Amino acid sequence: MSPRLSPMRKVVTYGLLGLLALIVLFPIYYMILISLKLPKDIYRTPSLWLQGATLKNYVDLLTTQNFLVNIRNSLVVAGAATIVSVFISCLAAYSLVRLKYRYRSWIGRLILLSYLTPASLLFIPLSVIIARLGLGNTLHGLILIYLTFAAPLSTWLLMGFFRGIPADLEEQAMVDGARRLGALFRIVLPLSAPGLVAVSVFTFTGAWNELLLALIFTTSPDIRTVPVALQYLITGDVFRWGLIMAGAVTAAVPVMVLYYLAQRFMVEGLAAGSVKG
Amino acid sequence: MVRDRSRAVTRPPGARETSGQATRKLTLSLTQRNSLLGYLLVAPVLVCLSLLVVYPFLFAIWISFTDRTVGAEGRFIGLGNYAYLLWQPSFQATIWNTVVLVGVVQTLKLAAGLGVAVLLNQPIRGRRFWRGLVLLPWAMPAFVAFITWKLLYAPQGGAFNLVLLGLGLVDSHVDFLSTKALAMPSVIVATFWRGFPFWVISFLAALQSVPRELYEAAAIDGAGAWQRFHHVTLPSIRHVVLVVLLLSTIWTTNGFENVWLLTQGGPSDATMTFPVLAYLGLQSLRIGEAAAVSVSMLPIFAMLALFVAKLLQEE
């Protein structure tokens, strides 16, 4: 990179960067700001600045709103969906990348098309199917439902990682007497550890962030996930913005940190951002 | 890291030949064993997708031809639901809104995506920092982003009213999300904010993979900045632009959080979209009709998905 910009272009460039920072950061700044304010400061003396921060909203959220239960539900659902999905996806991705058999390319195509199929096309029949299975309004049902997007997503991403591992290494292990599956677990998986971490994080954040399906499949208050709980706070009659923003910050910070950490493991470009959103 | 380790492993001399002979002797059975193992390993995901994607997908189409409700299987009524929907003002509004929302948002994202990517591709200080900054709205959960925008637009406690009133640009609170003329533009701005980083990051990666020599050669030939962009940059990133455009159009058309959290489709259907209309149909327990709403998106989705799948598999 040649660090040469004419002074004029430098001014324009950094001016535009400043504008970009303002557009990106202002909503986030305001979200955090409101989460630190009392209702009287929000409504009676509104201001873009902080006048005496308070953590009361966060305390209220955790003590009066059952939010800890929502967080637990989200952790259970996203965690379980991730574990199941990454496990079965490892097997499938390995099979599709390394083993040769008929219909292999058709199965690969099916997985990609499933990944592209939006939840908005599937939620109506799924609601009938889940009710028939007697899993309506349970966390088990939601975990199962989340495999609709988690399994194709993790299989597709893992296929990319497995392709990057030289096949010679496995042949080597198999000469040494290891079986196919042994090669998968002893050679391929350890080598793609960064990929496994990244894929797990993307699957987890996908499930943690999901609203539509959670709204349909978890109706009673004690099994609501975080997005659903916040949704009920903003569709009520009174907007308690301080409380709502405390919830928003709490829901966003952990997954954003994870996302940034995992993103560094991903190949630059499409794969790095291609989580359904 | 991966590459280093692969180099570290040295092949014992002669091992290759032995394995070659062994494989040849067992060719048939080994191939068979391999394909059997292949099917076994892919089976869990395949079963899961058949049950949770393929079957529901076909089931949705079937339901859309019935007058099913919650508690009643319903009977086959052919195109009855579709005929009924076509005369519904809310469905007509939905078609138009989707065209406007997707059309405007995608145009804005394309322009901003290219512009910001070119901006960040210049020799600036701390490029990694700026790249990370741009990614913030995309890394944020969609529901958090749209709840935050609902607050920004709020008449009481919202930032935009605060600024507009403070600068004396308006005399009284503006209710962005409940005013018919302002609701759709407000949804568009919020949807754009949350979605544009994906475009920037993808385009930036593509720009960085364009060989420098191409630019140098073009400069020697006397090409100006615009000509270089038009003749070198654009052709090199065409594939990525197309994939991003298609992927993002699928996601944007089917987005639920933006409209549901900001306006719930209101005021009087001014921001109604297919996913929200289908969700409201399910809530009112008319399953057949709701299924018809979401299945009417199918032709467009199928076209986009098959096209992007083809492009992605070519990569």
Tens of pLDDT, residue by residue over B228-272, are 888 888 888 888 899 999 999 999 999 999 999 999 998 999 999
Same domain, A205 and A84: yes
- pLDDT for position B137: 95
Domain that holds residue A183: 57-273
* Residue ending a domain, choose from A30, A55, A80: A55
DSSP state of A221: G
A176/A74 same-domain check: yes
Query: Look-up: residue for tokens 């701005």?
Result: B189
Angle, CA A165 vertex, CA B206 and CA A97 arms, to 5°? 90
* Interface with chain B: mutation pick from A25, A124, A145, A209, highest number of B CBs within 10 Å: A124
Whether residues A23 and A114 fall in one domain: no
Report the residue from B138, B144, B274 with minimal CB separation from A248: B144
Q: At what angle do helices A241-263 and A56-64 cross, to 10 degrees?
A: 90
Nearest to B309 among A21, A116, A277 (CB): A116
- Better-predicted residue by pLDDT, B108 or A47: B108
Q: How many CA atoms lie within 13 A of A240 on its CB side?
A: 16
Domain assignment of residue A35, yes or no: yes
Count of domains for chain A: 2
Domain assignment present for A1: no
Task: Check whether residue A16 and residue A113 sit in a common domain.
Answer: no
CA distance B43 to chain A (A): 7
In this prediction, residue B130 carries a pLDDT of 92
Best mutation target among B57, B105, B143 (most A Cβ atoms within 10 Å) is B143
A257 shares its domain with A142: yes
- Which chain A residue shows the shortest CA-CA distance from B274? A120
Residue B237's pLDDT is 87
A81 and A12: one domain? no
Whether residue A96 contacts residue A159, with contact meaning beta carbons closer than 8 Å, is answered with yes
Q: What's residue B5's pLDDT? A: 41
Give which of B103, B113, B125, B192 is closest to A27, Cα–Cα: B192
Mutate to test the interface with B, among A98, A116, A172, A235 (most CBs of B within 10 A): A116
Give the integer Cα–Cα distance in Å for A117 and B59: 14
Residues A184 and A135 in one domain: yes
Alpha-carbon distance of B183 to B200, in angstroms, equals 26
Give the residue among A124, A213, A219, A130 at the shortest CA–CA distance from B74.
A124
Domains of chain B: 17-63 (no CATH), 88-314 (1.10.3720.10)
B197 and A127 in contact by Cβ < 8 A?
A: no
CB B264 within 8 A of CB A235: yes
A149 inside domain: yes
Residue-level pLDDT, tens digit, chain A, 277 residues: 445 678 888 889 999 999 999 999 999 999 999 999 888 888 888 888 888 888 889 998 898 888 999 999 999 999 999 999 999 999 999 999 888 888 888 999 899 899 889 888 899 999 989 988 888 889 999 999 999 999 999 998 898 888 888 877 777 777 666 677 777 787 788 888 888 888 999 899 999 999 999 999 988 889 999 999 999 988 777 788 999 999 999 999 989 998 888 877 765 444 544 554 4
- Is residue A70 located within the same domain as residue A143? yes
Question: For B66, phi and psi rounded to 5 degrees?
Answer: -125, 165
Q: Does residue B12 surpass a pLDDT of 90?
A: no
Residue A184: CATH number of its domain: 1.10.3720.10
How many cross-chain Cβ pairs, A to B, lie less than 8 Å apart?
A: 308
Q: What is the pLDDT of residue B19?
A: 47
- Whether A120 sits inside 8 A of B274 (CB atoms) is yes
Measured between CA atoms, the residue of chain A closest to residue B21 is: A175
**Cβ–Cβ of A120/B294 closer than 8 Å?**
yes
Q: Contacts of residue A46 in chain B, CB cutoff 8 Å?
A: 157, 162
The β-bridge partners of B66 are B76
* B50 CA: distance to closest CA in chain A (Å): 10
Q: Which amino acid is at B83?
A: A
Q: Is the pLDDT confidence value at B20 over 70? A: no
Instruction: Indicate whether A228 belongs to any domain.
Output: yes
In a domain, A62, yes or no: yes
Residues A18 and A94 in one domain: no
- Smallest Cβ–Cβ distance between A269 and the set B37, B202, B306 belongs to B202
* Structure-token pair, residue B129: 């920092």
Tell me whether residues B38 and A104 touch, CB distance under 8 A: yes
B205 min Cα distance to partner chain A (Å):
5
Query: Across chain B, which distance is largest between two alpha carbons, in Å?
Result: 88
Q: At what angle do helices A7-35 and B142-153 cross, to 10 degrees?
A: 90
Higher pLDDT, A102 or B44: B44
Closest to B143 (Cβ–Cβ): which among A24, A147, A211? A211
Closest CB to A43: pick one of B152, B157, B250. B157
Are residue A41 and residue A128 in the same domain, yes or no?
A: no
- Residue type at position B215: Y
B197 contacts A273 by C-beta, under 8 angstroms: yes
Assess whether A51 and A171 both reside in one domain.
Answer: no
**A124 plus A166 within the same structural domain:** yes
pLDDT at A1: 44
A268 in any annotated domain: yes
Read off the amino acid at residue B219: A
A256/B152 Cβ within 8 A: no
Place of tokens 């993790």: A154
Q: Would you call B123 and A92 a contact, using CB atoms and an 8 Å cutoff? A: no
Which amino acid, B115?
A: G
